[in-house]
Amino acid sequence: MPSFEHDTVPAALDALDEAPSAPVPPVWGNEAEGLWAELQKVPRHHAPHLGEALVEAGFLTPAQLRQALRYQDQMAQHVPLGEVLVLQGLLTAAQLRHMLAAWMGVPTVDLGRFQPEAEALALLPPLLADREAALPLMCREDTLVVAVADPWDPRLLEMLRFTTEHRIRPVLPLPGTLAPALARAYRRVPTASAGEAVAPPPGVSSLSELAQELARSNEQGETQADVVSESDNTLVRLINRLIQDAIELRASDIHIETFEPPRPVRVRLRIDGELRRHLELPARVRFAIVARLKVMAELDISEHRRPQDGKLDFARFGHQRMELRMVTVPTSGGLEDVVLRLLGGVKPLPLDGIGLSERNLQALRGVMCKAYGLLLICGPTGCGKTTTLHSVMRELNEDHRKIWTAEDPIEITQEGLRQVQVNARIGWTFAAAMRTFLRADPDIIMIGEMRDEETARIAVEASLTGHLVMSTLHTNSAPESVTRLLEIGLDPFTFSDSLLAVLAQRLVRRLCTDCRVAETLDERGERSLARLYLQGAADADVDGLLTRWRARFGTPLRQYRRQGCAACGGSGYRGRLGIHELVVADDALRELIRRRAPAAEMFAAARQTGMNTLRQDGIEKLLAGLTDLPEVLAATNQ
């Protein structure tokens, strides 16, 4: 008989609140000590499998169980037994959840009657509690009892353990009681200092409250796309609150993923480059939420078969200035996903604030002082190339210079720049913008990306006629960028004369300074890290390198690892920084370009002139306590 798969408990069960008709395990109310005593008991699994446990408890007859198992075997793809029983109507979601909790030794708590302790609430910040739908109930010794919608989510439990620095004992809330209890609990908690719980501003509903209200308001039927409007209803407030949450959490993207019932709508945020689960909504709003966002971005709400893209100005809806780029993607079953990228409100960083080493910073500033030439920033999508370009222009942006930019999209705005949004659909391409700029008396031209030979050729010509031209490329390393441009058809002689420098970069997550843990490296660890740094070098002087490191970073050498706290949401990281690889064109490199030397030969020549590779720059930032080894290795493994 197949066993129940704990990591596949269907999240859609949360949306159903039917009361069980068969006997259910006891529900704890305000008896805190009784609940604690129950948690101390060792669960006894009379039945080894969920199906047998349901039969023992009287929820199913043996015949019903056999029928469900036969149906499960006939399905095209594997579906957990619990979901099969709900789909067949043999169990309600509430019955299954209560039975599963009893079988696994997880008590059920009626949060409508349970008063959380202030000491427990103070351990978990309200924003994190609301985002993860986790309510601390009480603290005993080193153990924190937390009510969560899914007590079998290992990621959530581990994050709570790191954040609170307590052992976590999850309990299951009675259906429909978690969201109201969260709202009540954190409204009552006073705050006097950073890190303590903060009550929501008067009149502002939390995301979990709005989700609960939305579920109640749609119980009579599905929300139709053609009735969604910009009126101040629950759905409108929920979407506004979601975008506001994303801004506060420094998210770069919002992913809204829809599924066929009974699976819920899933919302995830990309924070510091990592996708994190943020919210689940009832399946019956899957059309309405997409339609509402289309209305906000002025897209066609009747079109579901083709992708659409547009922009959403959040300030138009009475909120702070923030522009979002929106794309809809048709998925199976006639559904659509939505991805929103947060663009507006981003300010250019100072050049010395993007993570450049002192050596690279000085070399780059030397290149920027040139009156003409070509400066390239390269790396994969999402590595911060545009941010670096705008940091360079921020330093060059003075009244006596005319700076034109062609971008797609315009992600960062600067006063003093003349920024142009290209639109290939009407023929307004990067190449067309370049030709126009050359007739508009420029000093500096920035091209968002060199996508084709025509754009690259015009950029080289412009750089040779008295203009400083900057652009980006999607390549993996600085020397590879040179060979890529030669491969698409550039003349090696004119290109070698125009090239000033190529800066390759990646983004790594920055360690949270509130909770990072320093670890002293022993001799073996020091030499291992030095060999990793010198990997591929012809003259690998490990002892000389260690001497330089000790003079720069102190003795003994240390590396840092992440831990997790309330300030970083339990992840151990807060923000990102760049690691870089800068090649400055010299006579030797120009000669290699003219004879179309392979990238490996250019790379070796750059190393001989003192270029630090991406991995070497990352290891130096590791020793400075800015990031950790897993991040460096993940960003530089090619």
Domain ranges, ordered by start, for the chain: 44-104, 232-343, 351-508+576-611
High-pLDDT (> 70) share of the chain, %:
80
Spell out where 552-613 has E strands: 558-561, 573-584
CA 309 to chain centroid, in Å, comes to 21
Residue 3 has pLDDT above 70, yes or no: no
**CA–CA distance from 354 to each of 33, 305, 390, 552, 553 (Å)?**
52, 41, 11, 21, 20
pLDDT value for 93? 66
> Is pTM, for the whole model, over 0.75?
no
Confidence of residue 85 (pLDDT cuts 50, 70, 90): confident
SS3 587: helix
Pairwise pLDDT comparison (409 vs 501), residue with the higher score: 501
pLDDT tens for 466-485 read 899 999 998 888 888 888 89
Query: In CATH terms, are 232-343 and 351-508+576-611 the same topology?
Result: no
pLDDT of residue 30: 56
Q: Which CATH architecture has domain 351-508+576-611?
A: 3-Layer(aba) Sandwich (3.40)
Tell me the pLDDT tens digit for each residue of 389-400.
Answer: 999 999 999 999
232-343: what CATH class? alpha beta
H-helix or E-strand spanning residue 456: helix 453-464
Q: 289 near 265, Cβ under 8 Å?
A: yes
Instruction: For residue 9, give Cα distances in angstroms to 3, 84, 150, 546.
Output: 13, 11, 8, 52
pLDDT tens digits, residue range 155-209?
788 778 877 778 888 888 877 678 778 878 876 544 333 333 334 443 445 777 7
